[in-house]
Amino acid sequence: MNTDGQYGSVFKMNLGWMAASWCEAGVCRVILPRESPELAWRELEQETGGRLLRGRAHPGLEAAVSAWEDGDDAGLRGLVLQAGVLGPSGFQRRALEAMARIPRGQVISYAGLARAAGNPRAARAAGGACRSNPVPLVIPCHRVIASSGDLGGFAGGRRALTLKTALLEREGVTVSGRRVPREFWGGSEEWP
């Protein structure tokens, strides 16, 4: 992705320092909370190739994250993403679009995500879509877990599963011993 004309900024949330890049066409990349602003910025630079105009905050992202922390996802769901940020058409894009529909306070399994994206046998590919999500939190990949109820993986850095747990708990999901009880699965079995 060409990063010419992309802005980058770092901001504080309750769970740590986030970073994001954006251009006039929309949000391009989000880095989940890190321990310091330097770590968040460094990861953003790595993800974008380092050609960012630093300092100009996105006109709405920080407020949307703050509202998310207070229990309201509407701001995150309303953010415009840069065209192409979800990738070309195909399974990965459909999986990211399905992830975006997972309600706050609920989870889905990788297998359930694969079904929602149109390929019930592509649970590993659904995990790959989660791993390559360019805008975590905006597209809530932290809401995808293993079919066993285990948290599964998470691409959140060294503290990955601790961060995934914190994000889910912030949304009212109980996590006990790395597992999410069935009551948070959005229905009798899984989120549709």
Active site residues: 141
Task: Tell how far CA 11 is from the center of its chain.
Answer: 16
> Which two tokens mark 169?
């708990």
Pairing of strands 7-13, 144-145: unpaired
Give the whole-angstrom CA distance, residue 10 versus residue 51: 15
Pairing of strands 26-34, 108-109: unpaired
Radius of gyration of the chain (CA): 16
Phi/psi at 102 (nearest 5 deg)? Answer: -70, 120
